[in-house]
């Protein structure tokens, strides 16, 4: 019984990933830059995009979006910035993990440039603006009028020590 339960607990993560991929739940976005080619901008429609920044645990960071909300036209390339600062007296490495709500809309949110694609190394007390370029796909269902893009900033050296 213990062997079965151990095996089942290890299988939960890949099963959950498959479930999320099939159903579109969990708001996961693509892990790399989107390829955008000749998409027609829908000037008749706007979608509100909200930005949220979170820190994992009590990490010594400042992390916030430059703007908290934007009105965008589907198909149009947009740009904003998030600010991050390492408040520690030593270098730190972190990475931002994105999530989109509603989860079913994640497949319609395309990032062409994002600080979340790579680990970010900050010297002691260093702060900087980090760009985000994105597009909301014109195929986004009409009933979805607001998307929320949330990033959680994880300090990687703390995660590795666990």
- The full set of domain ranges for the chain reads 28-161
Q: Would the pLDDT of 158 be above 70? A: no
CA-based R_g, the chain, Å: 18
How confident is the model at residue 57, as a pLDDT? 83
Q: DSSP per residue over 66-126, as a string?
A: S-SEEEE-TT--EEEEEEEEE-SSS-EEEEEEEEEESGGGGGGEEEEEEGGGS-EEE-TT-
pLDDT band at 22 (very low <50, low <70, confident <90, very high): very low
28-161 CATH pick, 3.20.20.70, 3.40.50.920, 2.102.10.10, 2.60.370.10: 2.60.370.10
pTM of the entire structure? 0.75
How confident is the model at residue 39, as a pLDDT? 78
How confident is the model at residue 156, as a pLDDT? 82
What are the structure tokens assigned to 107, written together?
């497949």
* Per-residue model confidence as pLDDT tens digits over 121-135: 999 999 999 999 999
CA-to-CA dists, residue 103 to 24, 71, 107, 139, 150, angstroms: 6, 19, 8, 15, 11
pLDDT band at 31 (very low <50, low <70, confident <90, very high): low
């Amino acid at each position: 019984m213990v062997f079965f339960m151990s095996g089942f607990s290890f299988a939960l993560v890949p099963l959950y990933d498959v479930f999320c991929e099939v159903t579109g739940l969990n708001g996961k976005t693509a892990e790399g830059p989107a390829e955008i080619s000749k998409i027609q901008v829908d000037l008749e429609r706007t979608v509100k995009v909200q930005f949220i920044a979170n820190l994992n645990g009590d990490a010594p960071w400042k992390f916030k979006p430059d703007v908290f909300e934007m009105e965008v036209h589907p198909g149009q390339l947009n740009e904003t910035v998030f600010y991050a600062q390492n408040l520690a007296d030593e270098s730190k490495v972190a990475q931002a993990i994105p999530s989109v709500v509603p989860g079913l809309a994640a497949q319609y949110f395309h990032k062409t440039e994002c600080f979340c694609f790579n680990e970010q190394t900050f010297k002691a007390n260093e702060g900087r603006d980090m760009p985000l370029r994105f597009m909301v796909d014109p195929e986004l269902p009409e009933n979805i009028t607001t998307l929320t893009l949330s990033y959680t900033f994880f300090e990687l050296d703390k995660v590795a020590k666990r």
